[in-house]
Chain A
Amino acid sequence: MQMNTDYAKIERRSLFRRRTGKAVTYFLLTLWALIVLFPFYWMLLTSVKSYGAYNAEYVPAFFTLSPTFENYHTAFTAVPLARYFTNTLIFTLVTTAVMLVVIVLAAFAFARLEFKGKNLLFTLFLSLMMIPTELVVITNFQTITNLGMRNTFAGLILPSVTSVFYIYLLKENFEQIPEELYKAAQVDGTGDFKYLLKVMIPISQPTIVTIVILKIIECWNSYVWPRLITDDPMYFLVSNGIQEIRENGFGRENIPAMMAAVVVISVPLIVLFLIFRKKVMAGVSRGGTKG
């Protein structure tokens, strides 16, 4: 009997400890979730406050009873936001598409074709992965300037259509496809290119999707290179656009309009993420770094 009461105490204590542990965990997780979400809430909120109302608030209000969409109108009319948007879209799509072609061809050559100096070349490729962009940007800037390609899409796109890391990722993936398939295709008289198109690319689709997602995120958020290479607002991408808006657009104090622009710029990627949540997160954990 003595034992039994002792047990009851242990049971109670353990239950209590588990429950408080859970409660504290949820509390802290929720706190950080709020810190993450708050800026998003604030930009949405501010973007629907009217200019007058916002500037009249000495103490910022946490909600508004008279939401307005005039800021969105201002954002699209007072500055060429639609232009920035289209530019970014073109830049993202073209860069991603061209890059895919380049890296698929290279990865295939490394994975399946035999040629002299392959190993040496691949080692050289790998060592390029350690080169930070900051180092090569200087000459690239000079090159593009000398070629007269500033303020052109070509100048924006060309330096970022290859990625050693993605070639590496794809090559690893290609190599996992049984070589027997390749041999069988050769016996059947299937050409290399057709084989690549009909067999390897479909099988490696998950990796390719990963690469596309990562590249789209990278393109949509790229800032440094576009800033160097464009000074004509006609060629600004959204990042440069937002910086331009901050410094010269709307008159400096029209925060609600700025926030409307920020919302418009942020929404596409967030929507993309929410749709492909699993794919994006799996892709990033395989091959993404930021910060």
Chain B
Amino acid sequence: MLKKNLKAWLYLLPALLFLGAFMVYPLIDVFVYSLEEGYNSASQTYHGVGLFNYSYVLHDPYFLQAVKNTFILVIITVPLSTILALFISLGLNSIQPLRHAYQTIYFLPYVTNTLAVGLVFMVLFKKTPYSEGMVNLLINWFGGQSVDFIDGPYWAKMFVLCFYTIWVVLPFKVLILTSALASVDENLYKAARLDNTPKWRMFTRITLPMISPMIFYLVITGFIGAFKAYSDAVALFGTDLNAAGMNTIVGYVYDMLYGNSGGYPSFASAAALILFAIVLTITCINLLISKKHVHH
């Protein structure tokens, strides 16, 4: 028995080592950091224990800006991308020819490098002294005024960020919803059709309830993902997000840790834990709502 135990632990050893060193220990440590006041990276010393780091972060205008940006991003992109994905999936499921071709195209953003394609979006949206840029050209065509989406007004920048985020997250949602829709028993629709059920009623009374577990799954993971937004913003606006006024909470954490304003792991930890608390709360609320409304 002892030998058997030993062998099992041996098989688990690598996983335990890595998880211990890079998951469990850091998890405890992040709480410790967040409570150590005046921590100095170079000397690894601190001069007190308390909640000062949290209070500092919560009063830091950059953090508040990041929180505001993140919340706006979440509130806009999560519902919009889910609804858009639902419509696209419904469309995909209703056609036969070219379905695979469309599916393949829609999935492409999933396998692209966020940073690299973000650069293309920047080029498309940017207005430079030499050129209005592709998107502004379109706006002008429709009789609108050119806007600098990359270095211009706040809402223009937010628009690009939301647009790019949706572009990036949509493939996953479309994929999940398409397979959820395909797994609904086709006979249910046939039965409904024979009963002369109007299209919208089929959608609200059959389709929606049948795929509601998957929709809620997407909403929950969508919230979690959107709260962690960072790379998309970097791709569009560069690494100095504070200067662009487009920082996100995760961006703030990394900036505190490293980079131009870096070297403050305590502040970073406090910010990360605040983010974690927010995500946890939202997820719990989501789960409560889904328990009430989802058919399993």
Contacts and interface: CB of A to CB of B under 8 A. Distances in A.
Q: Does A touch B (CB under 8 Å) in the complex?
A: yes
A262 B119 contact: yes
Interface of B: 4-5, 7-9, 11-16, 18-19, 21-27, 29-30, 33, 41, 81, 87-88, 91-92, 94-95, 98, 102-117, 119-124, 128, 130-134, 137, 165, 167-169, 171-172, 175-176, 179, 221-222, 224-226, 228, 230-231, 234-235, 238-239, 250, 253-254, 257-258, 265, 268-269, 272-273, 275-276, 279
Contacts of A177: none
Given A139-B33, A140-B22, A228-B257, A223 B119 contact: no
A28 B91 contact: yes
A105 B23 CA distance: 18
B22 A116 contact: no
Contacts of A242: 113, 115-116, 119
A142 B139 CA distance: 48
Given A105-B15, A136-B22, A217 B111 contact: yes
A97 interface: no
A284 interface: yes
A101 B181 CA distance: 36
Interface in A160-176: 161-162, 164, 167
Closest 5 CB pairs of A and B: A291-B169, A139-B26, A115-B8, A136-B26, A106-B15
B81 to A, nearest CB: 8
B115 A39 contact: no
Contacts, number: 267
Nearest to A273: B111
Contacts of B33: 138-139
A138 B257 contact: yes
Given A224-B254, A277-B104, A284-B172, A158 B225 contact: no
B123 A224 contact: no
A64 to B, nearest CB: 14
* Interface residues of A, dominant DSSP: helix
B102 A138 contact: no
Nearest to A57: B131
Nearest to B250: A134
B116 A238 contact: yes
A239 B113 contact: yes
A291 B9 CA distance: 35
Nearest to A17: B199
A192 B5 CA distance: 13
A272 B128 CA distance: 35
Contact of A164 (B19, B116, B167): B19
22 contacts: A29-B91, A29-B92, A40-B120, A58-B131, A60-B137, A101-B14, A135-B26, A141-B265, A143-B21, A159-B22, A167-B15, A217-B111, A224-B254, A227-B254, A238-B115, A242-B116, A246-B238, A247-B238, A269-B113, A284-B172, A285-B179, A291-B172
Q: Which of B12, B19, B230 has the most CB of A within 10 A?
A: B12
